Copies of this chain bind each other. A is one copy, B any other.
């Protein structure tokens, strides 16, 4: 495979070299099970305790709070919603999420709705910002949990988490925050905002895949999803993925150290990218919030053409990017985020999701801004659609793309 330039960090990130170095001894040398009393086991136990501190410090956790290691963000989100809902069923049966949540939140809420729970999905404005008035209104005396993401991995919009936390705290309802997309890119602080549960993913912090964590404030009780040997405070059974956990800890520490630099550098690159593309290409638009957005995210749609075709051409030029096109999803449905923001379905198919990362440089941006226009031009020449032949005239009766 030739050298590729990764503009698709939200899907997968190479493990940081320092992180991999930290993990290495835990594959063959310190292979012990932390439950074992012997030295090799205790080395693992110590390493995990250390990783808990590293992860806790990234998000401003208090010493008595818990960091529960899981197999990833999906499991952490499931544990937050399922684990909290089942455990606190007597208090109520209603949870609130937003329309911008990741599928691991939305589908888990749906799953719970088949188990006797109810949920409300709060809408967002055209920039993807959660409607806080609607959120307030959605609260009932049955509401036991609110789960809102900190930032959206796809369109980059950052939620007004302080306001949301205020609403939750005023109503005395615990708030779960999916911080997968934001941690390491912008400050995340559970203590400052009074967040009760928070989800993190290791790979998004340049740690290994297959690890994540659910932060829980000390007084938060959960029912386990996985039962067995009683690891992770009895809340998440299964022999610990020691090397993975060590990697996530090291990644969290590094992310904390580099946070300020990341914000500045990535914001600069991102702005170059957005400006370059929008200036060079007609009928291109930024999706998501113009300023309240992740420093590494540019989501841009191009009218009259389809995203997978753009993606493939870009890959021939060495760029790895993602698209919100339905064509690349398992369900063939267009991005629920763009739909929630009111982007027309046909237009949503032409969106590129660009997520920058540590190894990207100005040269990458320059090259991208150079290679993209001819690709767009080529595909537009192929398309029956154009300014003169807009989408609407082909609409079937049964379709309505103005959501």
Contact = CB atoms under 8 A, between A and B. Distances in A.
Nearest to A75: B226
Given A14-B27, A39-B1, A322-B36, A229 B330 contact: yes
A292 to B, nearest CB: 25
Contacts of A201: 239
* Number of chain copies forming the complex: 2
Interface stretch (A101-109, A135-143, A271-279): A101-109
A73 B238 contact: yes
Contacts of A230: 103, 107, 330-331
Nearest to A312: B37
Contacts of A225: 78, 225-226
Contacts of A39: 1, 4, 315, 320
A291 interface: no
A37 B307 CA distance: 11
A174 interface: no
A27 B108 contact: no
Interface string A336-363: 0000000000000000000000000000
A107 B226 CA distance: 9
The 4 closest A-B pairs by CB, nearest first: A210-B241, A104-B228, A71-B71, A74-B238
Interface of A: 1, 4, 6, 8, 11-15, 17, 20, 27-33, 35-41, 43-44, 70-75, 77-78, 102-104, 107-108, 110-111, 201, 203, 208-211, 224-230, 234, 237-244, 308, 311-312, 315, 320-322, 328, 330-331
